């Protein structure tokens, strides 16, 4: 490995298989020496997911950002996209790893915006199935 990477995982719903997959990736990426963060929805999940976040929080060098992300496409997505953009720009990742449809859309748009502003960032998209 040339240098450790700064990796941000972006997905909507922190429940079920996607959340398990992201937690596994965070553990593996941290074990490989990378810094990792998560941006996801704040309106889904419950006490079980909150406990899972608390367990993984020490591994999230780049932090945990939870913002409201609706499942359906709405005009509110513009404000959510802007907020997610500001957070990801602040973090300054080398890689934005997107999961699921909504997380994928946000991450690909944000990655393009960062690239257009001169910040090289890789975008990886895992569509997952629902």
pTM of the model: 0.94
Backbone angles phi, psi at 124, to 5 degrees: -115, 135
pLDDT tens profile 9-23: 999 999 989 999 999
Nearest CA to 125 among 27, 40, 109, 115?
A: 109
Per-residue pLDDT averaged across 19-45, rounded? 96
pLDDT tens profile 57-74: 999 999 999 999 998 889
Question: Which residue is it, tokens 């960062």?
Answer: 114
Confidence class for position 130, pLDDT limits 50, 70, 90 = low
Per-residue pLDDT averaged across 86-111, rounded? 95
Nearest CA to 102 among 122, 121, 84?
A: 84
Q: How far apart are CA 24 and CA 91, in angstroms?
A: 21
Q: How far apart are CA 24 and CA 79, in angstroms?
A: 30
- Indicate if the alpha-carbon torsion angle 74, 9, 23, 61 is positive or negative: negative
Q: Would you say residue 2 has pLDDT above 90? A: no
Query: Beta strands of the chain (E only): which ranges?
Result: 6-10, 35-41, 63-67, 95-99, 122-126
Q: At what angle do helices 47-56 and 16-31 cross, to 10 degrees?
A: 10
């Amino acid at each position: 490995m040339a240098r450790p990477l700064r990796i941000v995982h972006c997905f909507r719903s922190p429940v079920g298989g996607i959340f398990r997959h992201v937690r596994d990736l965070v553990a593996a990426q941290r074990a490989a020496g990378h810094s990792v963060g998560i941006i996801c929805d704040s309106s889904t999940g419950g006490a079980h997911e909150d406990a899972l976040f608390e367990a993984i929080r020490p591994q999230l060098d780049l932090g945990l950002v939870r913002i409201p992300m609706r499942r359906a496409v709405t005009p509110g997505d513009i404000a959510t996209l802007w907020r997610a953009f500001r957070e990801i720009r602040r973090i300054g990742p080398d890689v934005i790893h997107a999961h699921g449809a909504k997380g994928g859309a946000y991450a690909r748009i944000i990655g393009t915006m960062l690239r257009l502003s001169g910040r090289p960032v890789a975008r990886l998209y895992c569509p997952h199935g629902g």
